[in-house]
């Protein structure tokens, strides 16, 4: 049907693809991992360059979703002259960046986290079903695997892979993501896992009798050494509780504080605070969309066993009394 | 001349991969991300023929899999894109290549890409694929493919005609 050369070439391409699949399925740190690392390094560099070239297009942010509610603003702007308009766009862009950095600084100074700021330069396609993004900071900037990534609103994800100048971040809404979470105030703990949808997380409580209410805020529980998740980072707010008290598994639907569809400036936590900041990083209660119903304090069984690496926890640290945390002097940032 | 063909294929594929990952994914368009890479593979296959289409598909698949933030198995995209490049280059008789037919082919190809990659991932043991979303993603990807097709197919054909007229399928 086809010439011999064609059949030969097709066979080579198919066999090569299959070889890649098989080598990659094996996983681990084989020779293929280094090929992959080299490829990621080169393409990461190219992505950085492309993101710079295309920044006038992408810098305006997610125009598709914001265009509808900006029609009023646009009529105002059309009255202005061309030069003035471009200046204005530049200004709003800078303002948004400044606000994002401001939010980051607030979180970092309240919780005494040390972080490296970075910008999102590429996002994985929706049809990959994996919520991962590339940021423009890598090993050269001190980023290592499993560091927490935050923005001004709260926890965004963790670093999955690094190259010299870029890193891949897996968002907390990814289906494979699991974060140890704690209800602010009561100290009930559980696992917050991604559902694959951008707006919802699932919170599974370890204690089936735990008291959880709509409006409760969640913060990270923290892992040993602050990896993969530093303690005290705001995760989200409970919007729906499923199952009654005493059922074998109790889950709650949680809306993340950070808007995963509008990520631009993020911070990578390179050093968690010496003391767990407890709930101090959470936004003020009247800033939250839902006011929490008061929940009884204490009585929570925090000794529940950790079932996952992500919740590999230090109960002693998280049970430190509030006064002790407050008494810690503000750590000076080394320049 | 083979080097000139390789250069054209490489430039188009690399450009498509970079634009898809850094620009198209962040526009926040509803549904699937417009699959510029598959449309480019189809355009190359239609302009140069099935063999060049398969080669373009292979290189595109490997690049997409290796480029950060990709976290999927390397090789899955490659094998699907090889099939798409070869089949589209082979299936349509050059005399039938009107713009609507080529748009239809592209829509079929981008839709099939979502289905085949989701299917292969599931077969290989990935539990990421959410089959409830697959129909919507397939349809929207096909639609975006159809919309992207005319400009890219005509553009690639124009470049091929200028640079390597000997391979142009007409």
Helix (H), strand (E), coil (C) string for B93-157: CHHHCCHHHHHHHHHHHHHHHHHHHHHHHHHCCCCCCCCCCHHHHHHHHHHHHHHHHHHHHHHHH
Strand partners, A174: none
> How much is the mean pLDDT over chain B?
87
> Rounded CA gap, B60 and A33, in Å?
19
Expressed in percent and rounded to 5, the helix, strand and coil fractions of chain A are: 35, 20, 40
Residue B31 has pLDDT above 50, yes or no: yes
How many percent of chain B have pLDDT more than 70? 96
Spans of all domains in chain B: 2-163
Q: Which chain B residues contact residue A6 at CB under 8 A? A: 50-51
Please, which pLDDT band fits residue B13 given cuts at 50, 70 and 90? very high
Q: How far is CA A130 from CA A65, B19, B45, in A?
A: 21, 19, 29
Encoding tokens for residue A202? 């699932």
What are B126-159's pLDDT values in tens digits? 777 888 888 889 999 999 999 998 999 889 989 9
User: A46: nearest CA in chain B?
Assistant: B18
Nearest to A216 by CA among A257, A247, A265, A155: A257
> Rounded CA gap, B170 and B159, in Å?
14
> Rounded CA gap, A254 and A173, in Å?
11
Q: How far is CA B152 from CA A90, A241, A285, B28, B45, in A?
A: 31, 49, 52, 22, 12
Which positions 58-117 of B are in contact with A (Cβ < 8 Å)? 58, 61-63, 65-76, 78-79, 82, 86, 114, 117
CA distance B146 to chain A (A): 17
User: A170: nearest CA in chain B?
Assistant: B69
Spans in chain A with pLDDT lower than 50: 286, 291-335
Q: Which of B9, B15, B23, B26 to mutate to test the interface with A (most CBs of A within 10 A)?
A: B26
User: Has residue A148 been placed in a domain?
Assistant: yes
User: Has residue A107 been placed in a domain?
Assistant: yes
> Rounded CA gap, A107 and A273, in Å?
12
Task: Quote the number of domains for chain A.
Answer: 1
User: Has residue A1 been placed in a domain?
Assistant: no
Cβ pair B74:A43 closer than 8 A = no
A315: helix, coil or strand? helix
pLDDT of residue A321: 43
Which residue segment(s) compose the domain that A161 sits in? 55-61+72-321
Write the residue in B69, B129, B137 that is nearest to A132 by C-beta: B69
Torsional sign, CA A173, A253, A278, A221: negative
What are B53-97's pLDDT values in tens digits? 999 999 999 998 888 777 778 888 899 999 999 998 888 777 777
* Diameter over CA atoms, chain A: 81
CA distance B59 to chain A (A): 9
Cβ pair B82:A10 closer than 8 A = yes
> Rounded CA gap, A120 and A54, in Å?
13
pLDDT of residue A328: 42
CB neighbour list of residue A294: distance below 8 Å, 6 or more residues apart? none
pLDDT of residue A62: 56
pLDDT of residue B10: 92
- For residue A190, count CB atoms less than 10 angstroms from its CB and return exposed for 0-12, middle for 13-18, buried for 19 or more: buried
Write the residue in B19, B72, B75 that is nearest to A130 by C-beta: B72
Alpha-helix residue ranges (DSSP H) falling in chain A: 4-26, 31-53, 55-58, 63-67, 71-78, 82-111, 315-318, 322-327
User: Has residue A4 been placed in a domain?
Assistant: no
Burial A71-91 (b: 16+ CB within 10 A, else e): eeeeeeeeeeeeeeeeeeeee
Q: How far is CA A129 from CA A24, A94, A174, B20, B21, in A?
A: 18, 32, 8, 16, 15
Please, which pLDDT band fits residue B40 given cuts at 50, 70 and 90? very high
Write the CATH number of the domain with boundaries B2-163. 1.10.1760
**CB of A192 closer than 8 Å to CB of A172:** yes
A40: helix, coil or strand? helix
Cβ pair A47:B50 closer than 8 A = no
Please, which pLDDT band fits residue B15 given cuts at 50, 70 and 90? very high
Which residue has 């929706």 as its token pair?
Answer: A126
A155: helix, coil or strand? strand
């Amino acid at each position: 049907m086809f010439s011999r050369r064609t059949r030969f070439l097709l066979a080579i391409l198919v066999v090569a693809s299959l070889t890649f699949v098989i080598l990659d399925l094996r996983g681990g740190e084989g020779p293929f991992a280094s090929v992959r690392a080299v490829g990621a390094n080169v393409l990461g560099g190219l992505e950085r360059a492309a993101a710079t070239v295309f920044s006038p297009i992408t810098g305006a942010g997610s125009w598709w979703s914001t265009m509808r509610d900006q029609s009023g603003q646009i009529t105002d702007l059309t009255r202005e002259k061309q030069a003035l308009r471009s200046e204005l766009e530049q200004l709003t862009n800078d303002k948004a960046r400044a606000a994002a950095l401001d939010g980051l600084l607030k979180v970092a100074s309240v919780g005494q986290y040390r972080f490296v700021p970075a910008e999102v330069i590429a996002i994985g396609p929706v049809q990959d079903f994996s919520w991962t993004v590339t940021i423009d900071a890598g090993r050269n900037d001190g980023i290592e695997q499993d560091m927490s990534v935050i923005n001004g609103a709260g926890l965004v994800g963790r670093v999955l892979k690094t190259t010299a100048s870029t890193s891949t971040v897996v968002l907390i809404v990814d289906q494979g993501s699991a974060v140890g979470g704690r209800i602010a105030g009561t100290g009930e703990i559980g696992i917050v896992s991604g559902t694959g949808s951008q707006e919802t997380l699932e919170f599974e409580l370890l204690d089936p009798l735990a008291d959880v209410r709509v409006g409760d805020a969640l913060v990270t529980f923290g892992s040993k050494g602050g990896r993969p998740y530093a303690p005290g980072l705001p995760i989200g707010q409970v919007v729906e509780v499923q199952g009654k008290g005493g059922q074998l598994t109790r889950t709650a639907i949680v809306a993340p504080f950070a808007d995963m569809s509008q990520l631009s400036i993020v911070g990578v936590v390179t050093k968690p605070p010496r003391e767990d900041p407890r709930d101090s990083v959470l936004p003020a209660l009247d800033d939250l969309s839902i006011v929490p119903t008061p929940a009884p304090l204490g009585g929570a069984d925090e000794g529940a066993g950790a079932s996952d690496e992500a919740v590999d926890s230090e109960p002693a640290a998280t049970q430190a009394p509030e006064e002790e945390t407050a008494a810690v002097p503000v750590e000076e940032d080394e320049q | 001349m083979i080097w000139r063909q390789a250069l054209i294929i490489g430039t188009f594929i690399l450009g498509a991969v970079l634009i898809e990952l850094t620009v198209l994914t962040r526009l926040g368009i509803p549904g699937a991300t417009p699959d510029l890479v598959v449309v480019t593979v189809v355009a190359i296959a239609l302009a140069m023929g099935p063999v060049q289409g398969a080669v373009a598909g292979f290189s595109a698949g490997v690049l997409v899999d290796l480029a950060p933030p990709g976290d999927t198995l390397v090789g899955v995209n490659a094998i699907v894109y090889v099939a798409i490049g070869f089949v589209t280059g082979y299936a349509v008789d050059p005399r039938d290549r009107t713009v609507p037919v080529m748009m239809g082919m592209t829509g079929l190809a981008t839709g099939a890409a979502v289905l085949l990659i989701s299917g292969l991932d599931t077969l290989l043991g990935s539990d990421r694929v959410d089959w409830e979303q697959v129909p919507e993603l397939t349809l929207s990807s096909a639609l975006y493919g159809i919309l992207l097709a005319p400009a890219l197919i005509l553009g690639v054909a124009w470049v091929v005609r200028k640079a390597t007229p000997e391979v142009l399928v007409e």
